[in-house]
Amino acid sequence: IEHLSETGGYFDTDNLISNEKSYLHVVPALRQSGLSGGAYVGVGPDQNFSYIAQLKPSVAFIIDIRRDNLLLQLLFKALFQLSRTRVEYLGLLVGRPVPSNLEPWRRANVDRIVTYIDDAPSSTPEEVRALRARVDAAIRAFGVPLSEGDVAAIDRFHRTFISRGLPLKFETTGRAARPYYPTLRELLLETDREGHRWSYLASEDDFQFVRALEQRDLVIPVVGNLAGPHALVEIGKLMTARGDTLSAFYTSNVEDYLFRDGTFPKFVDNVSRLPRTGRSLIIRSVFSGGFGSLPYSMPGYASASLVQPVDELLNGRFGSYRQLVR
């Protein structure tokens, strides 16, 4: 983390969860691509885990300009460390009691798990303190140097999940919340365009794959700007040293902001330095605001998620974000 990271920057969102309801619409394309192994790169919080669960990379880098995202990833890592099954993970995340017998829950569908968490009583203040102590001890054992402010931020993040539970929504600073922001519950129960559930908590096997990758320290959070001078370049060098090629790069809608500040060409240059194959993919999310009706959007969705071959991105001449996503 120390070697790969840059100095952090500011963004006006909490990003505890995604606001991209369409995030699973690309999973059939990922599965049909034949991509497996290699390196995954992505931004943001836990939507990455669902892509990782489908692509089965050998290593994953979660890069984000906000140091808060690194801290959030350490919280998730601790919860994977402490959890044996999906229902235990979700219970610890939102501070709800874990079933005494976990075995039947390994076969449960995600609907049943979500219903259990919804119906479970909230933890008492004493139970929350005990849970927070367990999580903090796990995080300290990772050996990542943390300031008092970092520790307080992780505590705040976890307590937000606990107090809000599954109705938790993405929040912004200085901007009104959008009515289309999905809840954590909706994100977990979301499907692809054909109605299939692909969240990393929809399948015990998928959850266990992500958990095993976390336990082997192969989900690496990095602080960095996608158009910055260091982080993405060093990730590429490490991929080369490991013998990994890029499977997929999830950019969310960051490219929109890179076009706005004139740094999109530097991002493209950084991507060109990542070892890749002709099948390597970009995954992006596009919001309809300012674009009118997107040809690949669906009724009831304010975002559309899509994939593009990395080579197409590198070889194209895109003068604007609108041109890129269309």
Tens digit of each residue's pLDDT (9 = 90 or more) over 17-49? 999 999 999 999 999 998 889 999 999 999 999
pLDDT value at position 179? 73
Three-class secondary structure of residue 62 per DSSP: strand
pLDDT value at position 291? 57
Q: Return the ∠ at Cα 301 (arms to 296 and 305), rounded to 5°.
A: 50
Q: In what order do the strands lie in the sheet with 59-64?
A: 219-223, 59-64, 39-42, 246-252, 281-287, 303-309
Entry pTM: 0.95
d(CA 135, CA 139): 6
pLDDT value at position 300? 84
pLDDT value at position 294? 66
Q: Which amino acid is at 319?
A: G
- Asked if 170 and 14 count as a contact pair (C-beta separation under 8 A), the reply is yes
- Asked if 274 and 233 count as a contact pair (C-beta separation under 8 A), the reply is no
Find the mean pLDDT for residues 232-239: 98
* Residue 271: band (very low, low, confident or very high) from pLDDT cuts 50, 70, 90: very high
The distance from CA 84 to its chain's CA centroid, rounded to whole angstroms, is: 20
Q: Return the ∠ at Cα 307 (arms to 323 and 86), rounded to 5°.
A: 140
Bigger pLDDT: 291 or 311? 311
- Tell me 197's DSSP state: B
pLDDT value at position 34? 86
Find the mean pLDDT for residues 144-156: 97
d(CA 33, CA 35): 5
d(CA 93, CA 221): 19
pLDDT value at position 298? 83
Percent of the chain surpassing pLDDT 90: 85
Find the mean pLDDT for residues 132-151: 97
Tokens linked to 204: 């015990």
pLDDT value at position 158? 98
The DSSP bridge pattern shows strands 281-287 and 303-309 to be: antiparallel
Q: Which amino acid is at 326?
A: R
pLDDT value at position 236? 98
Find the mean pLDDT for residues 88-117: 96
d(CA 185, CA 198): 14
* Residue 170: band (very low, low, confident or very high) from pLDDT cuts 50, 70, 90: confident
The DSSP bridge pattern shows strands 59-64 and 281-287 to be: unpaired
Q: What is the dihedral of CA 8, 14, 19, 25, to 10 degrees?
A: 40
pLDDT value at position 175? 61
Q: Return the ∠ at Cα 83 (arms to 136 and 5), rounded to 5°.
A: 55
Find the mean pLDDT for residues 96-116: 95
pLDDT value at position 73? 98
Q: Which helix (H) or strand (E) holds 64?
A: strand 59-64
